[in-house]
Amino acid sequence: MKYEIFSSDSNVITFSSFGTLKTQLNHIKHPLFYSNCCYCNTTQSSFITETKATSCDIRKTLARMEDSIDHLAFERNKAQFDVDEMKIVWAGSRQDFELSDRISRLVASDPAFRKDDRTTLGRKELFKNTLRKAAYAWKRINELRLNEQEAYKLRSFVDQPAFTDLHWGMFVPAIQGQGTDEQQQKWLPLAYRMQIIGCYAQTELGHGSNVQGLETTATFDPKTDEFVIHNPTLTSSKWWPGGLGKISTHAVVYARLIIGGEDHGVHGFIVQLRSLDDHLPLSGITIGDIGMKFGNAAYNTMDNGVLRFDHVRIPRNQMLMRVSQVTREGKYVHSNVPRQLVYGTMVNVRQKIVADASVALSRAVCIATRYSAVRRQFGSHNGGLETQVIDYKTQQARLFPLLASAYAFRFVGEWLKWLYMDVTKRLQANDFSTLPEAHACTAGLKSLTTTATADGIEECRKLCGGHGYLCSSGLPELFAVYVPACTYEGDNIVLLLQVARYLMKTVSQLGSGNKPVGTTAYMARVEQLMQYHSDVKKAEDWLKPNVVLEAFEARAARMSVACAQNLSKFTNPEEGFQELAADLVDAAVAHCQLIVVSKFIEKLQQDIPGKGVKKQLEVLCSIYALFLLHKHLGDFLSTGCINPKQGSLASEQLRNLYSQVRPNAIALVDAFNYTDHYLGSILGRYDGNVYPKLYEEAWKDPLNDSVVPDGFKEYIQPMLKQQLRNARL
């Protein structure tokens, strides 16, 4: 029995068994097309002839083979670097890679964690599914005796917002950071064993970013040695805490501490919400879910809640008292623990958000890149293949900067993790010198990376054309899950204004002996930077790290100085800050973009093993920096850092860099090492077998359970059967 396949380059593959064919197909460098098979796959084109087998035999056999063929193999064969080594660079270390790889495959192989049906479930069914998965995940964590890091990875790869997110991510850390030793000994063992389930109740119906404006009160009653927690207004209702609506038994509640009529500001309190026997709300507590949120599935798997207190009493020792305390006599005192330690927790939370940004953006980029290589449109001549969408320069100019951004955010996230550990060590030694800079830095990078990631996910959806709008693409849900990051833990514009205040303070202190530190160290050279003019003469000059870095430093310094000069014209500084807010935000963005560029450059100064790995990272670093320069060209020109000709040369070099990324694009997203389960996208399948799977998925929709839809007889059939008569005027 003999078969032949003709490839697009007119070569002929002859084979005697389909096992042999599969091996050959996975290694061929030219696209194929099974035009006479059961699938018409536009990623590939060929003709099949047979000498003894029937066409039906071939169609059936190739249909079975479709699932096992790597339709992107010809792209992967183009890679100019060691993909396995790049996977380790992305993961951070070989140990981290092996951990993530092991846990992600553990989750992907377990049918209990399937998620392809999420977007078709109703709210109640969806939420119950979340409870089932969370309980099963906890069971597996205990059965496998996973450590804290392994358990965290498992929950993240389950990839479904759940009440456990706030329990482990906010409730436990709040007690760890703000509770006394005695409070930690009492509450943490219960939380670690999940004998209590906690949430973080800070945001209110009327106040979010303005924490100092919270209205919930905690009034000390010296007669009973208790605090009375109360919501005096509708707007003081706690609103949004995840896990609160239906599951949490306890909460860390933030309220204004009132002693003898005196307001001592906002403090944290551990409050039990529900009975541990029947799960009913305790007396004086009104609690529920706030309703459906944006998107299919997404955060609708989470019971974000509303909470109201009507003079609820708790023992005095349930105020978190590591930093400040209330004595039995009702005296408010500060402990010997510095208040600045509270900010250490904030730095930690925000550095994790930056790390999460790189993950979310890389997922979207992986989907869009793979699909861009699969999808073909236009460009066909004489019946030949159409052009791969990824080969269009417009597609590259939109996609490759996002690919570079994913890597950039990954590396700045690594640095932020180091910064958090450094700040923690300093705080424990009562060294608070780097805390203000670290606070401003993490606030700014949280804002920058989450905004860019949310926008990037949406751009990736557009890059996938109409199919990107399907829930089965994975992109609509990914966007809906991620976009709240632009608001929680600080609204992004508010955070940038905090960065701007720090920059204005830094500028005001120049020359006073207070030398700028850390990410603002470049400000010490402000006089030099104010005189800087780029000496770029040819496009290749923009590949020099020092040339790029100086341009970004000069731009950031000049924008901050300009804002400071304009602020000085106002007699009332706060009035000036309000008036110049938009300019101050732009200055903060310039400063934060400089940080990301500089940390990418610093990463490249390290020893990076693996054939071609460092070269690819250098290309991505240049793309990230030059894309920002191109996008914000007005800043660079208006501040005089570069001239129009140099801006044109940067754009020219950027186009050249896209051509260098093109043959490596699929391998660069493969380096993320995401399972198909975690990506949750038919368009982003590792094997590129998109169209048959999209077709199969469509028939799984509940609307296709019946040929004639419910409601047809009641509403549509009468219209079709109506007798039309000519009206008489």
432 pLDDT band, cuts 50/70/90, is confident
Which domain covers residue 38, as residue numbers? Answer: 12-69
373 and 419 inside one domain:
yes
Is 489 labeled as catalytic in the residue annotation?
A: yes
More confident residue, 421 or 30: 421
pLDDT band at 381 (very low <50, low <70, confident <90, very high): confident
Overall size of the chain counted in residues: 729
Q: What is the pLDDT of residue 130?
A: 96
Q: How far apart are CA 44 and CA 27, in angstroms?
A: 14
Confidence of residue 59 (pLDDT cuts 50, 70, 90): low
Same domain, 462 and 595: yes
Instruction: State residue 430's pLDDT score.
Output: 81
In this structure, is residue 686 part of a structural domain? no
Please determine, for residue 24, whether its predicted confidence score (pLDDT) is greater than 90.
Answer: no
Exposed, middle or buried: residue 38 (CB in 10 Å: 0-12, 13-18, 19+)? middle
- pLDDT tens digit sequence for 329-373: 999 998 877 777 777 777 888 999 999 999 999 999 999 999 999
Task: For residue 621, name the pLDDT band (cuts at 50, 70, 90).
Answer: very high
pLDDT of residue 202: 94
pLDDT at 658: 98
Among 244, 242, 300, 298, which Cα is nearest to 271's? 244
Share of the chain above pLDDT 90, in %: 80
Query: pLDDT (tens digit, 9 = 90+) per residue, 567-583?
Result: 999 999 999 999 999 99
Query: Would residue 696 count as lying in a domain?
Result: no
Same structural domain, 545 and 658: yes
Q: What is the pLDDT of residues 438-458, one digit of tens each?
A: 899 999 999 999 999 999 999
**pLDDT of res. 21:** 58
**Of 4-18, 266-280, 475-489, 610-624, where does mean pLDDT reach its minimum?**
4-18
Residue 511's pLDDT is: 84
Q: Do 100 and 26 fall into the same domain? A: no
Which of 314, 337, 360 is the last residue in one of the domains?
337
Domain CATH for 586 = 1.20.140.10
Query: Considering the domain boundaries, does residue 678 fall inside one?
Result: no
User: Residue 28 — pLDDT band, cuts 50, 70, 90?
Assistant: very low
Please indicate, yes or no, if residue 717 is contained in any of the structural domains: no
User: Using the 8-state DSSP alphabet, how is residue 482 labeled?
Assistant: H
279 pLDDT more than 60: yes
- Same domain assignment for residues 447 and 543: yes
Q: What burial class does residue 570 get, using C-beta atoms within 10 Å of its C-beta: 0-12 exposed, 13-18 middle, 19+ buried?
A: middle
Identify the domain boundary among 337, 366, 398.
337
| Burial of residue 304, with CB atoms counted within 10 A of its CB: 0-12 exposed, 13-18 middle, 19 or more buried | buried
Residue 583 domain-assigned? yes
- Alpha carbon distance 49, 43 (integer Å): 20
DSSP-assigned states of every residue in 140-154: HHHHTT--HHHHHHH
- Kindly state whether residues 419 and 504 are assigned to the same domain: yes
Judge if 284 and 358 occupy the same domain.
Answer: no
Select from 407, 368, 373, 380 the least CA-distant residue to 79.
Answer: 373
Looking at residue 423, its pLDDT comes to: 87
pLDDT for the residue 727: 58
Sign (positive or negative) of CA dihedral 475, 477, 483, 488: negative
Question: How much of the chain, in percent, has pLDDT values that exceed 70?
Answer: 90
Take residue 633 and report the two structure tokens written for it: 């060209």
Q: Which two tokens stand for residue 452?
A: 């860019």
- DSSP assignment of 520-553, as one string? GGGGGGHHHHHT------SGGGGG-HHHHHHHHH
pLDDT of residue 17: 52
Together in a domain, 211 and 347: no
Alpha carbon distance 696, 468 (integer Å): 16
Confidence of residue 623 (pLDDT cuts 50, 70, 90): very high
Q: Could you write out the three-class secondary structure of 244-299? A: CCCCCCEEEEEEEEEECCEEEEEEEEEEECECCCCCCECCCEEEEECCCCCCCCHH
pLDDT of residue 512: 83
Give the model's confidence band at 284: pLDDT under 50 very low, under 70 low, under 90 confident, else very high.
very high
Does residue 697 lie within any of the structural domains? no
Does the pLDDT value for residue 178 go beyond 60? Answer: yes
Answer whether residue 52 shows pLDDT above 50: no
Rg for the chain, CA atoms, rounded: 29
Please tell me the predicted confidence (pLDDT) of residue 38.
30
Distance CA 298, CA 296 (A): 6
Q: pLDDT (tens digit, 9 = 90+) per residue, 193-228? A: 999 999 999 999 999 888 889 999 999 999 999 999
Tokens of 159: 């990839």
Provide the pLDDT confidence category of residue 626 given band limits of 50, 70 and 90.
very high
Task: Map 558-627 to HEC letters.
Answer: HHHHHHHHHHCCCCCHHHHHHHCHHHHHHHHHHHHHHHHHHHHHHHHCCCCCCCCHHHHHHHHHHHHHHH
For residue 190, pLDDT over 50 is answered with: yes
**Binning pLDDT at 50, 70 and 90, where does residue 65 land?**
low
Domain CATH for 118: 1.10.540.10
For residue 3, which of 59, 63, 51 has the smallest C-alpha distance? 51
Range with the poorest average pLDDT among 321-330, 368-377, 518-527, 716-725: 716-725
User: Which three-class secondary structure state does DSSP give residue 33?
Assistant: strand
User: With 90 as the cut, is the pLDDT of residue 62 above it?
Assistant: no
Least confident window among 171-185, 429-443, 552-566, 567-581: 429-443
For the cut 50, the answer to whether the pLDDT of residue 594 exceeds it is: yes
Q: Which of 670, 705, 720 is the last residue in one of the domains?
A: 670
16-25, 115-124, 557-566: segment of lowest average pLDDT: 16-25
- Per-residue pLDDT, 211: 85
- What is the distance between the alpha carbons of residues 185 and 175, in angstroms, rounded to a whole number? 10
Q: Please, are residues 712 and 95 in contact by the beta-carbon 8 Å criterion?
A: no
User: At residue 30, does pLDDT exceed 50?
Assistant: no
Instruction: Say yes or no: 204 and 280 in one domain.
Output: yes
Mean model confidence pLDDT for the chain: 90
Residue 250 lies in a domain: yes
Domain count within the chain: 4
Question: Please, what sign has the CA dihedral across residues 111, 113, 119, 120?
Answer: positive
CATH number of the CATH domain containing 212:
2.40.110.10
Binding site residue list for FAD: 203, 242
Same domain, 349 and 332: no
User: Of the residues 75, 414, 437, 489, which is catalytic?
Assistant: 489
The answer to whether 486 and 546 are in contact (CB under 8 A) is no
* Residue 622 covered by a domain: yes
**Across the beta sheet with 238-239, what order do the strands follow?**
238-239, 305-309, 285-289
Residue 382 and residue 324 share a domain: no
**Both 392 and 494 in a single domain?**
yes
